[in-house]
Homo-oligomer: A and B are copies of this chain.
Amino acid sequence: MAASNRSRRRNADERRRELCDAAIQVLAEYGSRGLTHAQVDRYARLPDGTTSYYYRTRAALLHGVGKRVAEIDIANLQSVIDAPLDLQSPFARLAELTMMQADGRGLMLNRARHELLLGAVRDPDLAATSQTFVARMNAMAHEAIAHLQPGTDDPALLDAQTTAVTTFIAGVFTRLAGGDRSIHEAEQLSRMLEAVATAVSLQAQRT
């Protein structure tokens, strides 16, 4: 009985994940205006009413999608923290993950993330969830930046570097979401991110 409950629970989680992945596509293609339960059913190739069964309201659906996007972002950032340090090009993996937001599934995720950011302006519940995840992402980014610069252990400097590097990445995401390819290669971005971290460190030494 317990085992069967567990398995039912696992299936429900799996189904929600499928629905949220379909909703990410719908958001990216049609925008917040086009996100409906029926459209998500269609994109997930599931029977009419499935999305409504798992997410009764539009707000619940948006909330689920927000959590799913954060889950993917967190897994990506964790992979930067877990990867062995590349001394030649420490920011390479972070840059590669960022540039994956330029095309295909990454671009969908990127556009959906921006739709959610704007949606949260009008949805206090979504805004609260989003703030929780942003705080967690910032803490992870701090950890990642520390990992990428083994010589640096001043927390204030790491904070300043984290703010600068994540702001830069947010700018790349936004440009890519709009189809702007001013930054188009992971290698170019990797050098820029390293330069930004270095510049913040040099500035801290001067003041």
Point out residues on A near B: beta carbons under 8 Å.
28-33, 111, 114-115, 117-122, 127, 130, 134, 138, 163-164, 166-175, 177-180, 182-183, 191-192, 194-196, 198-200, 202-203
Alpha-carbon separation in the docked complex, A140 to B32 (Å): 32
Distance to closest chain B CB from A113 (angstroms): 10
Chain B residue nearest to A173 in the complex (CB): B174
Secondary structure of the A contact surface, majority rule: helix
Chain B residue nearest to A170 in the complex (CB): B171
Distance to closest chain B CB from A168 (angstroms): 5
Is B111 a contact of A195 with CB atoms below 8 Å? no
Is A183 a contact of B163 with CB atoms below 8 Å? yes
Distance to closest chain B CB from A131 (angstroms): 8
Alpha-carbon separation in the docked complex, A4 to B121 (Å): 45
- Chain B residues lying within 8 Å of A177, measured Cβ to Cβ, are 117-118, 121
**10 new A-B contacts at CB < 8 Å, known A28-B121, A164-B196, A195-B202:** A115-B118, A127-B179, A130-B178, A167-B171, A170-B170, A173-B174, A174-B174, A194-B203, A195-B199, A195-B203
